[in-house]
Amino acid sequence: MNNYYIEKKLKIEKIKYISVLATLLITLFIVGLVSVCMGAMDITVSDVFKVMAGKIFGTEPNVAENILSVIWNIRLPRIICSCFIGMGLAVSGAIFQAILQNPLADPYTIGISTGASFGASAAITVNLIFGIYFPTVSAALIGAFVTLFIVILIARKGGSFNSSNIVIAGIIVSSVLSSGVSFMKILAGENVGAIVFWIMGSLSAKGWSDVIIVAPICVILTIISVFFAKSLDIMALGDEAAGSLGVNVNRARFLYLTAGSVITAVCVSVCGVIGFVGLIVPHLIRFWITARNRALIPLSALFGALLLMTADTFARLISSGEIPVGILTTLIGGPFFIFIFMKKRVGG
């Protein structure tokens, strides 16, 4: 009898998962299409399809040259980039929450985002003071990976490569790097706005080169994370229980930590710091739908893509001077997360 109810429950959960997945996919496509049409220049849906069909099949689309340029060179790459960055931040948040066994963990917990910010701030400062150009994206990636190496080194030297040591090491390194970013702001002087704008997080002026950087990393590592998601579920039982069930806990934690950090590093290096997506999306999916990581990760990926794309569309529409999307996600995500958290506590 118990097996019957377990199988029935799993079947219902599977149907629910497929329904939500399909709904998110359809919604993502519709919202993306509407986003391409919205802006200072009014564009019709038929124009969007003509341009996309022309680029896919190598034909000349029957639209005005300015409309073609706006769709293909400005709006479409930006919207696609926002999807992949939202996807990456949400997936990395789900990974960190699983390996650190903390539903409030996110890509900032172990300092990866702060490391990327430090690298980008250093590149901008060197460019402003010495006139030596160093790519901001490359500097942010270097800063993130060096931070990951230092965090892992400190956590291992702490005696055990466990969740608490990783969090402590991340807090230590993040605090030091935050002070470094503040020092860079002082050195920048009157040009501090360049650093501040980057740290706020923005998707303005993103092109196909940015999509090429972000898309492969996010897609490949998300697929790998879903494929091995069963290990994350087992690790939630504790290190000893997971080890007794055949999971190499330290190796799995290291691999997932690296995967989540690489995704975060790439996303932050392209768009700057965008808060709350990696925190709130996996938490809401876990709270409302499922806690199983094999379903949680792909649902988080789609919901994160939808959330950031929608937020970025509002960011470029609600003001004549574009608002950095990182500000908008924090303004919306913070109070909303507090509401959900309090509602959960009241409901027991």
Closest C-alpha to 52, from 61, 40, 42? 61
Q: What pLDDT was estimated at residue 64?
A: 84
Q: What pLDDT was estimated at residue 343?
A: 67
Tokens representing residue 334 in the block: 């913070």
Q: What pLDDT was estimated at residue 162?
A: 73
**Mutual angle of helices 112-130 and 192-200, in 10-degree steps:** 160
| Residue 303 to residue 291: CA distance in whole angstroms | 15
Closest C-alpha to 182, from 265, 134, 125, 261? 125
Q: What pLDDT was estimated at residue 29?
A: 94
Four-point Cα dihedral 103, 105, 107, 108, nearest 10: 150
Four-point Cα dihedral 267, 271, 272, 277, nearest 10: -60
In order along its 348 residues, the chain shows pLDDT tens digits of 466 666 777 777 778 888 999 999 999 999 999 999 988 888 888 989 988 888 888 788 888 888 888 999 999 999 999 999 999 999 999 998 888 887 777 777 788 888 988 998 898 888 888 777 888 888 888 998 899 889 888 888 766 667 778 888 888 899 999 999 988 888 877 778 878 888 888 888 888 999 999 999 999 999 999 988 888 888 877 777 777 877 888 888 888 888 888 898 899 888 888 888 888 899 888 888 888 888 999 999 999 999 999 999 988 888 766 788 888 888 877 777 777 667 655 554
Q: What pLDDT was estimated at residue 83?
A: 95
Residue 238 region by backbone torsions, left for phi larger than 0, else alpha for psi between -120 and 50, else beta:
left
| Residue 323 to residue 309: CA distance in whole angstroms | 14
Q: What pLDDT was estimated at residue 160?
A: 66
Contact 86, 282 (CB under 8 A): no
Cα R_g (the chain), whole angstroms: 21
Alpha helix (H) residue ranges in 158-292: 163-188, 192-200, 208-227, 229-235, 239-244, 249-271, 277-288
Residue 247 DSSP one-character state: -
CA distances from 41 to 44, 71, 163 (A): 10, 10, 50
Q: What pLDDT was estimated at residue 344?
A: 59
Q: What pLDDT was estimated at residue 229?
A: 86
Q: What pLDDT was estimated at residue 81?
A: 95
